[in-house]
Structure 1
Amino acid sequence: MAKSSEEPKFTLRLIVDEEKNKVVLAEACRDFVDVLFSLLTLPMGTIVRLLENHRKSEPVTVGCFNNLYRSVVEMSRDSFETEACKQMLMYLRSVRDVQCKRLKLNINPTEDIKCFKCPSYCSLYSNFNTSICSCGNLTNEEIKLENKEKVAGQNQSDANGVFVSGRCSFILTDDLEVAVKSTELVLNKLKSLGCADVSKLGERLLDIGLEEVLTLLECIFSSNAPLTDAFLNKKSPQGVTKFYKSLSPCLEKKEDETEPEKVVTLKAFVRKQDMKILFIECGEEFVELLLSFLAVPLESVWEISGSSISLGCIGNLCRSFSDLKANEGTEVSPSTCVLPSFYNFQMQLPGIITQQPPVYYRYRLNDYRQVSYGLTTNGNRTTYFRKDRIVRVDLMDPKSRGINKSTHGFLKKETKFTVLDDLTITSMNSCSTVCLLKNLQSHADDLEVQVVSISNAEALNLLRASLVTSAALSTALWNLIAKKLKEETDLLSPVSKKVKEET
């Protein structure tokens, strides 16, 4: 890795077909491959935020996710249960945040987790200084947190990377297949790519920093040759072929899972001319399902979607990650998607679980001037004073208010929303139906209402469609609309036949 006083940079060796100005292969160090694989661990909402900040004038659009994230940003605080709810969705956390702190270049640095308490003598603690205690005060007094989650493996030797181990170099193809470098592999790759005549190939050394990694992240979604587009053309390509098909759920419930499948009913406003869903009216449960998509990391989105989508080179990168972990003999990540503590939604995709919050213990600080306390994760910690004792404390769910510790969703109950086909979400209190129809350039006579029910199969199809289309509702739910129309036609058929016979 090249050294820089400003930011970490990596040296990437490109093997280039000079005639076509195209990357054939790239040689990279382990630290760069770690950064590359870390992109898979980012929540989808974080990816949208990073890409929009990277290229504000013309950000890369990832299906409907940009609209979903922008809806959160523009949504009124009154729509959320607490102030923390909006912050959690705007600045999403990942269960891999601790690992990513060890990266030589972390494109999404996150703050250490903090703990706050009520300034009164209450016993409520929270990770957010905006939480409201049962006494009505804000939990805005920061408390010392001992034994914070240490960066995983920070004392490991240089032979251990973050996501891949060893001091070896790696070979990358232009479509982001990654493998451990060997002479035999290089020869085989050159032959398979039709580049056996090495006299036509050149080498270029590039210094890769934050800007280059973000450009590569853009191209992973929008290109079938991201190395060429990011490092030779130095731009994100426009207009990339995407593929989608509706499939049954890829994740099945475990046998010991007894929770019944949740089904929500909503009203779809359909244009008669082409049966396109223009918008839907729904409660907070369906909107929370859509918002949960933002919290799912990229690697889990691809696993859930399976072979039903083709988008850039995400599939190659995910497969390479799994293959390298398997070859090392380390445990391959389970297909179950794990979200950080408190990221539990009123309705979410099957196969998603939420981490349990950490358990903290209160202890008295070694301060003779005043009685003050700190928190520790060590329940067997030795006390400073003989008569002191370690007391377990539970963190408030930042989505709850005061003494009500029951699990809440992010949005207030009984709230009504309008969701457009491109997954732009607005509160029904903030816009009128007439204004909506004007914006959609629709005539009231052109619309009909269809009542549809959303279960796991439709939820999974919505996730897939939201990644690769700008019309997620029509793409994912067209079969429900078609089914309703067929049922209505079948009901009318005997009546029509009878009228025809009578005439």
Structure 2
Amino acid sequence: MRSAIPKDVKMSLKVMVNKEKTKVPFAEANSKSAEVILSFLMLPLGEIVRVFEEHYLDKKPVVGSLTPMYRHLTTLRSDYFWTDGGKNMLLNPSNSFMSGPVKHFRCGDMDCKKKSFRNVSIYYDSGTCDCGKPLNRAMGEIEPKPQAGGDGILVEGLHFLVTDDLQLAPYEPGSMMETLVYLGIVVTEGAEQLNVTLGYNEIVDLLKRSLLSKTPLTDVILCVINKNMGYVLEDILLDKIELESTSSKRMTVTALMQKSTNKLLFVKGREDFVDFILSFLTIPLGGVVSLLRGKTCFKGIDNLYKSTSNLIKDKHFITGDAKRRLQEPQLPPYYVSKNQIFSLSEQIVNSIYYYESITDSSDQTIGKGSWMRYKDPKGDQGCYVKPGMFKISDDLTFLKCFFSNSAILSKLKIPPSDVKEMEVQIGLKEGLSILKAALRSTTALADGLVKHITKASVASNSAQSDGLHNKTSNKRPKTKVSP
């Protein structure tokens, strides 16, 4: 199962550089190179953070609150989770593009007592057999259902233009200028065309810059061309965009706000909310753009996603399914938690019939077959986190909460009189707001929830005011009786 950028990946481009060597307005790419860029949409958020953590030894890039949450997750004890497999799925999330045979694993006990519908998993050591032993014994590989056209995304032999802000557009030979005009690209006098090959390091840099910059192509190409010039990259955060959504699924958390500063101190919630925010790590980048309706804070990624609809036509994709998997990617089997608020789908796996030949003590070969049932690596509960009350910080890190609010406030040296508690309902609108804030900010809860907390506070104060008014109006005036 492909879940990361291959180490041997190569991308060949013909780049156009302006005369001053300060801008790359566009580049030409073939189908394979264009596929590498499109593959960014298939990467789960947690996988992106993991790649950055492993690749950049110094000055590791921070992706909003996702990086703090991911780092915190690596330090958590296993008893926070129903299974070690569930924690591993969050730390090493896979994407849903299946390539090649899929390995299967069964109970590690050769004498497993479960005789009918034995358990099987497609994740090594990430599940537990009903007998209690780990599912870590390899049992062979199964070829996935072949995709029409193979494992690729785009038809081979096509030509694409890649703009500085990651618009990706096919063009026919002889129509390049027409396509450039359509994209609004102006080539200044004296521009020079150069052949550039990007390897793994540069492609990871391109991914990073696509999350941080309005000009990712220029940032990376000029670093390749001018390695000795010390080209400086400038981080850019884009403006906020409001979202409107409705939902029926909701969960309740308690937000503690400091009155004097109007600052969110922390949130207390149960395992369903913690399970929900952890699930951000499993969502592919293309799925995030889809959920946020093409309005994330990543302009280059938004442009790349829109290109799959507005610029790249159906005829350019190997299949319609390849296009759909970029625009509305499914999660791998068992990744969607029962506490998920977002409308996400996952691949379905069915029971399998496994047949094997066994040689007994008398060297006789005996054929043996049985039906096997896939096991949820998260556990039978269908979620990642065990029950409990949790204190969730602004950067989406969390710990089990064993103390009262007054004890926590005492430690923070904040008087209870300076704190107000608000119950906040978390539905789709609030969940999307937190997700979007988590992409760009290390204070995702404050940025994502304060507006909703303020509304809840106003509604609460209004209700209290109405109640007080009703009590006052219901009082009968005293009548003075004259003697």
The correspondence for 1:121, drawn from 109, 112, 115, is: 112
AA aligned opposite 1:228: T
Distance (whole Å) between structure 2 residues aligned to residue 115 and residue 171 of structure 1: 44
2:339 aligned counterpart, secondary structure: coil
AA aligned opposite 1:409: C
AA aligned opposite 1:463: L
Deviates more, 1:39-48 or 1:266-275: 266-275
1:73–1:90 Cα contact (<8 Å) kept = yes
User: Shift of residue 47 of structure 1?
Assistant: 0.6
Matches within 5 A, 1:196-215: 197=189, 200-215=190-205
1:69–1:90 Cα contact (<8 Å) kept = yes
- Corresponding residue number in structure 2 for 1:485: 457
Distance (whole Å) between structure 2 residues aligned to residue 66 and residue 22 of structure 1: 30
Change beyond 3 A, Cα 1:35–1:201: same
- Corresponding residue number in structure 2 for 1:378: none
- Corresponding residue number in structure 2 for 1:170: 160
Distance (whole Å) between structure 1 residues aligned to residue 377 and residue 332 of structure 2: 13
Deviates more, 1:453-462 or 1:488-497: 488-497
- Corresponding residue number in structure 2 for 1:258: none
Distance (whole Å) between structure 2 residues aligned to residue 347 and residue 262 of structure 1: 9
Distance (whole Å) between structure 1 residues aligned to residue 54 and residue 429 of structure 2: 34
1:267–1:282 Cα contact (<8 Å) kept = yes
2:105–2:135 Cα contact (<8 Å) kept = no
1:333 aligned counterpart, secondary structure: helix
CA RMSD of the aligned region, Å? 3.3
Matches within 5 A, 1:208-247: 208-233=198-223, 237-247=233-243
TM-score (norm 2): 0.82
Please give the per-residue CA displacement for 1:329-367, whole angstroms capped at 9, x wherever unaligned: 742417655211111313113321222224321213264
AA aligned opposite 1:125: N
AA aligned opposite 1:179: A
Matches within 5 A, 1:73-472: 73-96=74-97, 98-99=98-99, 112-117=102-107, 118-123=109-114, 124-127=118-121, 128-129=124-125, 131-140=127-136, 142-149=137-144, 152=147, 162-182=152-172, 184-188=174-178, 192-195=184-187, 197=189, 200-233=190-223, 237-249=233-245, 261-322=248-309, 323-328=311-316, 330-331=319-320, 332-333=323-324, 336-365=328-357, 367=359, 388=367, 390-400=369-379, 406-413=380-387, 415-429=388-402, 442-472=414-444
Please give the per-residue CA displacement for 1:35-79, whole angstroms capped at 9, x wherever unaligned: 111111011100111112221321222221112212321211110
Distance (whole Å) between structure 1 residues aligned to residue 113 and residue 33 of structure 2: 48
2:450 aligned counterpart, secondary structure: helix
1:233 aligned counterpart, secondary structure: helix
Aligned-residue sequence identity (percent) comes to: 25
Change beyond 3 A, Cα 1:337–1:437: farther
Distance (whole Å) between structure 2 residues aligned to residue 113 and residue 443 of structure 1: 57
Deviates more, 1:488-497 or 1:266-275: 488-497
AA aligned opposite 1:92: P
2:422–2:453 Cα contact (<8 Å) kept = yes
Residue segments in structure 1 that go unaligned for 5+ positions in a row: 1-5, 102-110, 254-260, 373-383, 401-405
Distance (whole Å) between structure 2 residues aligned to residue 246 and residue 371 of structure 1: 71
2:86 aligned counterpart, secondary structure: helix
Distance (whole Å) between structure 2 residues aligned to residue 135 and residue 238 of structure 1: 55
1:357–1:395 Cα contact (<8 Å) kept = yes
AA aligned opposite 1:328: H
Distance (whole Å) between structure 1 residues aligned to residue 411 and residue 31 of structure 2: 51
1:324 aligned counterpart, secondary structure: coil
- Corresponding residue number in structure 1 for 2:49: 48
Deviates more, 1:476-485 or 1:314-323: 476-485
AA aligned opposite 2:336: N
Distance (whole Å) between structure 1 residues aligned to residue 173 and residue 61 of structure 2: 37
- Corresponding residue number in structure 1 for 2:227: none
- Corresponding residue number in structure 2 for 1:69: 70
AA aligned opposite 1:41: M
1:164–1:324 Cα contact (<8 Å) kept = no
Change beyond 3 A, Cα 1:336–1:174: closer
- Corresponding residue number in structure 2 for 1:381: none
1:45–1:295 Cα contact (<8 Å) kept = yes
Please give the per-residue CA displacement for 1:167-222, whole angstroms capped at 9, x wherever unaligned: 1222111111112234554324555433253xx11122222111011000000101
Distance (whole Å) between structure 1 residues aligned to residue 414 and residue 374 of structure 2: 49
1:452–1:481 Cα contact (<8 Å) kept = yes
2:267–2:392 Cα contact (<8 Å) kept = yes
Change beyond 3 A, Cα 1:480–1:51: same
Change beyond 3 A, Cα 1:236–1:391: farther
Change beyond 3 A, Cα 1:273–1:185: farther
2:103 aligned counterpart, secondary structure: coil
1:313 aligned counterpart, secondary structure: helix
Distance (whole Å) between structure 2 residues aligned to residue 461 and residue 451 of structure 1: 17
2:336–2:344 Cα contact (<8 Å) kept = no
1:22 aligned counterpart, secondary structure: coil
User: Shift of residue 436 of structure 1?
Assistant: 6.0
1:222–1:237 Cα contact (<8 Å) kept = no
Distance (whole Å) between structure 1 residues aligned to residue 413 and residue 353 of structure 2: 59
1:337–1:351 Cα contact (<8 Å) kept = no
Deviates more, 1:174-183 or 1:360-369: 360-369
Please give the per-residue CA displacement for 1:6-48, whole angstroms capped at 9, x wherever unaligned: 9453332211002152102111222111111111101110011
1:50 aligned counterpart, secondary structure: helix
